[in-house]
Amino acid sequence: MTGRVLEGIRAVEFGQFYVGPYTSEALAYFGAEVIKVESIRRPDPTRWFGSTGGPDPKIIILTDPNKSVGFNELNLNKLSVNLDLTKPKAVELAKKIAEVSDVIVENNRPGVLDRLGLSYEAIREVKPDIIYLSASCRGSTGPERNYAGFAPIFGSLGGLSEITGYADGPPAPPIGGRTDIVCGTANAFSIITALIHREMTGKGQYIDNSDSEVISCLVWDTIMDYNLNGRIQTRRGNKDDIFAPHDCYRCKGEDDWISIAISNDEEWRAFAGAIGNPDWAKEERFQDAYLRKKNEEELDRLISQWTISHTKYEVMDILQKAGVAAVHSFSSKDFFSDPHLKERGAFTEVEHPVIGRLTVMNPPWKLSATPAEIVRHAPLFGEHNNYVFGELLGMSQEEIKALMDEQVIY
């Protein structure tokens, strides 16, 4: 163990929902001290979102900001302070925190922090080498800079929704926080490269990330087809350009599926052998990649007849042993009984002082020298007012109390 990578780096987060919070959570995994700035007048809305749980969950609005399981998952390892930024004194305090920090992360609508007096230019005056990242749906410049969006919105604007879905169905925007966390990862990447640059040159910078641009970058191969050939790609389910079989096939059980992809003739022969060399697998129309693709519909039908009589675990086991890429479609339940993820330690637990014991996902990378870690639950609302204002900024208990009474620390 040679220490945590971002030990000594302090980041201030003015974040909400997923993108901003995940950006700074990724930094916190590596030991950065992340201070999340919120106010009871405008807390991170995720704090209010709850669920009834169980097999048929309903969204509920929470009344306690410390009870959201989702918030916990996105704000691990962080600290929380309260500042009502509509008050000039609070803005001054925010600047004081920035002065002793290295990174700012924010994902408000472009212009919001500027109006509050916390623009990049304003922060740079107190901390010249600050690295300041703004993330928004469309970026902080351009005619659509004020357009807002959550994951399904920028997923759709970036070109992802159009190409995701059944060939005969409507576009399928991503579920949950998928694309949010992708954008958060892209933000963390940019911040680290800026930290590297600062380490080398002593210079900070402003980073303006557009969530929809990030998504476009990740589907550019399909956009390239338009640029090169004028072809507009659309939805095609699980299908591939050329590989067949290449789909999810129903297995024994309820909503149980196996994904099977075969990329060459060797795998095809291995597949045929593994399923007992049925006569149809020897037919000429399936003997090379081009023919399998041409006769895909029939091929899919025949494969389904085999998979339906086996469990998804059996199929994955039989085919992987034969060297065929087959992975079942994991439901969230499956992850917690999976031997592989268990051995890799994909999950851990944190003790949340209000909610109790919670399972959280570990950072998805294994570093041999400086592992990324989850060391604490998401902060309770304002949990670190004393540490930040007292220890970090050197204010006395009286001063802090006075500012609380004035609803500056609020």
Within positions 184 to 223, which residues make up the interface with another protein, using CB under 8 A?
A: 185-190, 192-197, 199-201, 203-210, 213-214, 216-223
- Interacting positions 369-408 with another protein (CB under 8 A): 369-370, 372
Residue 318 interacts with another protein (CB under 8 A)? no
List the one residue out of 42, 41, 59 whose CA is nearest residue 50: 59
Residue 176 interacts with another protein (CB under 8 A)? yes
C-alpha distances in Å from residue 191, one per residue of 172, 196, 327: 31, 9, 34
| Residue 368 structure tokens | 């041999």
Residue 114 interacts with another protein (CB under 8 A)? no
Residue 238 interacts with another protein (CB under 8 A)? yes
Look at strands 347-352 and 356-361 and give their pairing.
Answer: antiparallel
Residue 121 interacts with another protein (CB under 8 A)? no
Least distance to another protein from the beta carbon of 387, Å?
25
Binding test (CB under 8 A) with another protein, winner from 42, 57, 301, 354: 57
Closer residue to another protein (CB): 81 or 244: 244
Residue 305 interacts with another protein (CB under 8 A)? no
Residue 74 interacts with another protein (CB under 8 A)? yes
Sign of CA dihedral 360, 365, 368, 369: negative
In the block, which residue shows the tokens 């901390």?
Answer: 127
Closer residue to another protein (CB): 319 or 408: 319
Instruction: Name 403's Cβ contacts closer than 8 Å, sequence gap at least 6.
Output: 89, 93, 389, 409
Least distance to another protein from the beta carbon of 400, Å?
31
Q: Is 282 left (phi over 0), alpha (psi -120 to 50) or beta?
A: alpha
Least distance to another protein from the beta carbon of 90, Å?
23
Binding test (CB under 8 A) with another protein, winner from 43, 158, 379, 382: 158
Stretch that binds another protein, among 96-104, 336-344, 384-392, 400-408 (CB under 8 A): 336-344
Closer residue to another protein (CB): 49 or 387: 49
Residue 160 interacts with another protein (CB under 8 A)? yes
- Interacting positions 17-46 with another protein (CB under 8 A): 26, 30, 45
| Residue 153 structure tokens | 């919105």
Binding test (CB under 8 A) with another protein, winner from 42, 115, 301, 344: 344
Give the per-residue contact string, 92-111, with another protein (x = CB under 8 A; - = no): --------------------
Residue 86 interacts with another protein (CB under 8 A)? no
Contact 184, 161 (CB under 8 A): no
Give the span between the Cα atoms of 267 and 175, in whole angstroms: 33
Q: What is the DSSP string of 210-225?
A: EHHHHHHHHTHHHHHH
Binding test (CB under 8 A) with another protein, winner from 35, 39, 127, 154: 154
C-alpha distances in Å from residue 156, one per residue of 112, 173, 296: 24, 7, 29
Give the span between the Cα atoms of 35 and 37, in whole angstroms: 6
Does residue 50 sit in helix, strand or coil? strand
Give the span between the Cα atoms of 350 and 108, in whole angstroms: 29
Interface size with another protein, residues (CB under 8 A):
170
Residue 226 interacts with another protein (CB under 8 A)? yes
Q: In one letter, which amino acid is 287? A: Q
Binding test (CB under 8 A) with another protein, winner from 202, 228, 297, 353: 228
In the block, which residue shows the tokens 């995720």?
Answer: 46
